Amino acid sequence: MAYKLRSLISNKIVQAIEGFPIGGRGLKPSTILPCVQVDSKSGGEPEFGVSLKALHHLGIFTDHDDSTRSLAHVGSSLVEKLETDTTIPAAYLCQGKTDITLKFKVDYSLLASEVISITNNKPKSFWQCSALINLLPHERVVVEFSSPNIAKPFHVGHLRSTILGNFVAGLHAALGHTVTRINYLGDWGTQFGLLKYGYDSQNLTESDLKEDAVKKLYKVYVWANRQAESDPSVADTARQIFNKMERGDPEALSTWELFRRVSVEDLHGIYHRLNVYFDEYHGESMYGSEKCCEIVKAMEEKGLLEALPDGRKIYETKHGQKVTIVKSDGSMMYLSRDIAGAIERHDKYDFTKMYYVVENGQSDHFTHLFRILEQLGYDWVQGLKHIKFGRVQGMSSRKGTAVFLQNLLDEAQEVMMDKQEDTQTTKDSARVSMGKVAERVAVSSIIVGDLKQRRQRDYIFSWEKALQSRGDTGVKLQYVHCRLVSLERNCGFKYDSEMPLTPALLTQPPAARLIRELARFDEVLLETYSELEPCVLVAYLFTLCGSVNKALKQLPVKSAPREVGEARLAMFVAARHTLAAGLNILGVQPLEEM
Ligand code: ARG
């Protein structure tokens, strides 16, 4: 936010540098723009700060090093040259331990009215008119996430991938990229032979899978696995059945199709509860032996494969590890399918970036994948990225050990319902909507509880903590959003974004602090984007909510003189839009009542 001021400051810096013996001539203001940041620590009225180290990294002061002494020297010459005016009345240096910040005082009225009017007049994607966000090139981005394995439970790793991937896709779409969301199902492999073996042995039919298909299939799978453990011939039979599938045997394939169909229907239910959707469902089954043959040929031509006497074809990694690409019976591997998949997706989507949102544990797999593609000569491999994340402990069902996501969601919803009943006298008519609200709050808590962690860190999930209304939880964010909605509904007059605003009525410290937080939103989005770390945005939303709560307490709307109330309401409406925008980007649907 604060689009004009940020640009004005960048222009002034460029002007000061021009014709000035510190290098960096011909510099564009847009290069400097991202360095111009709202000073998040200033106590009084908001200021902007520019790190001299960051300017140095742009190669501006070519004839100086980045020691603080040298920076101080350049900084004071810069300050001397900077022209101030009523909009930017002062520039001064502020010395830190390892850096020096060039600070700018700005016309607070201009800042406040700009932040509020831009936010409230373009509520859907107001941050997109920010000069900062406009600097981003528009790209075609593929995000592959969730990607559970059919016939096995949807575990917490898949839940994290779903939440994180949904955020990555949402953030890119919000910033104006064209995004394709792909769910790459683990719907192929020997486990389907085993599953069909179990299904046939138990004489099951489609009607047995009418309800709770995934749980039932999982039971069958577990049973078949046990059989295979005690009797090696079962594993052989399973392999033969899968081989039939690979060869396109109609009977074997029609059972496989049934498994896939009922599982995907079940998944749809889960994704609906989480408010997550996909543009396409792909799966490993799309890359059977025939499709992979071409890449095997290409790899052989480049000398990347070694044929072993037992019939396997293997690839040697950078560190001398040998990974199988083709098994001795000619069937393909997880890695082989991913190579074929990446090439096909590039042909189809012509992406500039493709993200694989998959747990840390598969790092080696993606390192191998990217290296092979590079050796095959695909330069677009530069745009591929494995978005890794750590493990979660403690997110197992409280009632049992099998982690079915449905159960997790049901339990979280129950806990929320209990809490609501404790705090409200509930009318019967309100019960149904309470259930829905409880579910949305529960889902928000799970999402926020997850996204507030640094992506790659392992963490311990606690239901107690996640569902609290105090502390940094999804419940709190929703609660503050509801308070803002209720303020608008109950303050006694209607907000009109066309009405002129009197920023001079918003100078009390809690207002200045809130305006400062609102002005930071686009910076925060940019930082979240460049690191793909949702915790940056989550931390910001908590700080924002802290400022909102303080302001709500100290700056009444209804009881204030009308003109003051109107200015405050305008500010609170801007806060609501910003909070809602942030929540939506995280994949959380903001609630109006709870
Ligand atoms: N289905 C896999 C699993 O659960 C994750 C798939 C990740 N994506 C990929 N393109 N390999 O382990």
For residue 371, pLDDT over 90 is answered with yes
227 and 358 belong to one structural domain: yes
Taking only the tens place, the pLDDT of each residue in 89-146 is: 999 999 988 899 999 999 999 999 999 999 999 888 999 888 888 889 999 999 999 9
Q: What is the pLDDT of residue 184?
A: 98
Domain assignment present for residue 507? The answer is: yes
Write down which residue in 389, 414, 445 finishes a domain: 389
Of ligand 1's atoms, which has the minimum distance to the CA of residue 358?
Answer: 7
CA distance 107 to 160: 44
Confidence of residue 402 (pLDDT cuts 50, 70, 90): very low
Q: Is 450 in the pocket of ligand 1 (CB under 6 A)?
A: no
pLDDT, average across residues 61-81:
83
Domain assignment present for residue 306? The answer is: no
Query: What's the 466 CA to ligand 1 centre distance in angstroms?
Result: 27
pLDDT, average across residues 66-77:
86
CATH for 531:
1.10.730.10
Pairing of strands 353-357, 280-283: unpaired
Confidence of residue 407 (pLDDT cuts 50, 70, 90): confident
3-state secondary structure of 397: coil
The residue that leads in pLDDT, 395 or 433, is 433
For residue 370, pLDDT over 90 is answered with yes
- Residue numbers annotated as active site: 152, 155, 158
381 and 421 belong to one structural domain: no
Looking at every residue in the chain, the average pLDDT score rounds to 90
- Which residue, by CA, sits nearest to atom 5 of ligand 1? 147
Domain assignment present for residue 26? The answer is: yes
ipTM: 0.99
The residue that leads in pLDDT, 395 or 371, is 371
Of ligand 1's atoms, which has the minimum distance to the CA of residue 341?
Answer: 10
Confidence of residue 399 (pLDDT cuts 50, 70, 90): very low
Question: Could you tell me if 13 and 61 are in contact, meaning their C-beta atoms sit under 8 angstroms apart?
Answer: no
371 and 417 belong to one structural domain: no
551 and 418 belong to one structural domain: yes
Q: What is the pLDDT of residue 39?
A: 87
DSSP 8-state secondary structure symbol assigned to residue 149: B
For residue 424, pLDDT over 70 is answered with no
β-bridge mates for residue 50, sequence order: 36, 102
User: Which of 261, 259, 249, 254 has its CA nearest to residue 224?
Assistant: 259
Question: Could you tell me if 335 and 343 are in contact, meaning their C-beta atoms sit under 8 angstroms apart?
Answer: no
Question: Could you tell me if 455 and 535 are in contact, meaning their C-beta atoms sit under 8 angstroms apart?
Answer: yes
Q: What is the pLDDT of residue 284?
A: 96
Of ligand 1's atoms, which has the minimum distance to the CA of residue 152?
Answer: 4
Query: What's the 534 CA to ligand 1 centre distance in angstroms?
Result: 22
Query: What's the 242 CA to ligand 1 centre distance in angstroms?
Result: 19
Q: What is the pLDDT of residue 398?
A: 46
Q: Select from 362, 387, 388 the residue to mutate for testing ligand 1; criterion: most ligand atoms less than 8 Å from CB.
A: 362
Instruction: Give the range of the structural domain holding residue 45, as residue numbers without chain letter.
Output: 3-106
Question: Could you tell me if 187 and 233 are in contact, meaning their C-beta atoms sit under 8 angstroms apart?
Answer: no
Question: Could you tell me if 159 and 121 are in contact, meaning their C-beta atoms sit under 8 angstroms apart?
Answer: no
Q: Is 287 in the pocket of ligand 1 (CB under 6 A)?
A: no
Of ligand 1's atoms, which has the minimum distance to the CA of residue 158?
Answer: 4
Output the six-digit token pair for 308.
């072993």
**CA-CA-CA-CA torsion sign (559, 563, 568, 569):** positive
Query: What's the 359 CA to ligand 1 centre distance in angstroms?
Result: 9
Q: Is 187 in the pocket of ligand 1 (CB under 6 A)?
A: no
Of ligand 1's atoms, which has the minimum distance to the CA of residue 157?
Answer: 4
Q: Is 578 in the pocket of ligand 1 (CB under 6 A)?
A: no
Q: Select from 182, 184, 192, 334 the residue to mutate for testing ligand 1; criterion: most ligand atoms less than 8 Å from CB.
A: 184
What type of residue is 485?
Answer: V
Domain assignment present for residue 100? The answer is: yes
Confidence of residue 356 (pLDDT cuts 50, 70, 90): very high
Pairing of strands 178-185, 140-144: parallel
Domain assignment present for residue 64? The answer is: yes
Instruction: For residue 379, give Cα distances in angstroms to 46, 300, 382, 421.
Output: 45, 19, 6, 58
CATH for 357:
3.40.50.620
Burial (CB < 10 A; 0-12, 13-18, 19+), residue 133, is buried
Of ligand 1's atoms, which has the minimum distance to the CA of residue 362?
Answer: 12
Confidence of residue 396 (pLDDT cuts 50, 70, 90): low
Write down which residue in 106, 124, 154 finishes a domain: 106
88 and 155 belong to one structural domain: no
385 and 409 belong to one structural domain: no
CA distance 277 to 266: 14
Q: Is 336 in the pocket of ligand 1 (CB under 6 A)?
A: no
DSSP 8-state secondary structure symbol assigned to residue 377: T
CA distance 202 to 154: 24
For residue 461, pLDDT over 90 is answered with no
379 and 469 belong to one structural domain: no
Q: What is the pLDDT of residue 566?
A: 96
Q: Is 170 in the pocket of ligand 1 (CB under 6 A)?
A: no
Question: Could you tell me if 187 and 150 are in contact, meaning their C-beta atoms sit under 8 angstroms apart?
Answer: yes
560 and 438 belong to one structural domain: yes
Cα of first residue to Cα of last residue in the chain, in angstroms, is: 30
Asked which of 368-377, 442-451, 454-463 is least confident by mean pLDDT, the reply is 454-463
385 and 421 belong to one structural domain: no
Taking only the tens place, the pLDDT of each residue in 517-556 is: 999 999 999 999 999 999 999 999 999 999 999 999 999 9
User: Which of 462, 460, 477 has its CA nearest to residue 539?
Assistant: 477
- How many folded domains does the chain comprise? 3
Domain assignment present for residue 133? The answer is: no
Q: Select from 147, 168, 391 the residue to mutate for testing ligand 1; criterion: most ligand atoms less than 8 Å from CB.
A: 147
Q: Is 188 in the pocket of ligand 1 (CB under 6 A)?
A: no
Q: Is 355 in the pocket of ligand 1 (CB under 6 A)?
A: no
Q: What is the pLDDT of residue 157?
A: 82
Pairing of strands 384-387, 353-357: parallel
Q: Is 359 in the pocket of ligand 1 (CB under 6 A)?
A: no
Query: What's the 388 CA to ligand 1 centre distance in angstroms?
Result: 12
pLDDT, average across residues 313-338:
93
Output the six-digit token pair for 473.
């939880």
Q: Is 358 in the pocket of ligand 1 (CB under 6 A)?
A: yes
Count CB atoms within 10 A of the CB of residue 576. 24
DSSP 8-state secondary structure symbol assigned to residue 444: H
440 and 572 belong to one structural domain: yes
User: Which of 414, 146, 465, 391 has its CA nearest to residue 278?
Assistant: 146
Q: SS3 for 251-268, per residue?
A: HHHHHHHHHHHHHHHHHH
The residue that leads in pLDDT, 378 or 331, is 378
Taking only the tens place, the pLDDT of each residue in 262-318 is: 989 889 988 999 999 999 999 999 998 888 999 999 999 999 999 999 999 999 999
pLDDT, average across residues 232-259:
93
Q: What is the pLDDT of residue 430?
A: 62
Q: Is 161 in the pocket of ligand 1 (CB under 6 A)?
A: no
150 and 265 belong to one structural domain: yes
Q: What is the pLDDT of residue 200?
A: 96
Query: What's the 152 CA to ligand 1 centre distance in angstroms?
Result: 13
Domain assignment present for residue 444? The answer is: yes
Question: Could you tell me if 273 and 265 are in contact, meaning their C-beta atoms sit under 8 angstroms apart?
Answer: no
Q: What is the pLDDT of residue 227?
A: 94
Q: Is 503 in the pocket of ligand 1 (CB under 6 A)?
A: no
Question: Among residues of the chain, what percentage have pLDDT more than 90?
Answer: 66
Query: What's the 338 CA to ligand 1 centre distance in angstroms?
Result: 9
Write down which residue in 82, 106, 130 finishes a domain: 106
Domain assignment present for residue 383? The answer is: yes
For residue 429, pLDDT over 70 is answered with no
472 and 373 belong to one structural domain: no
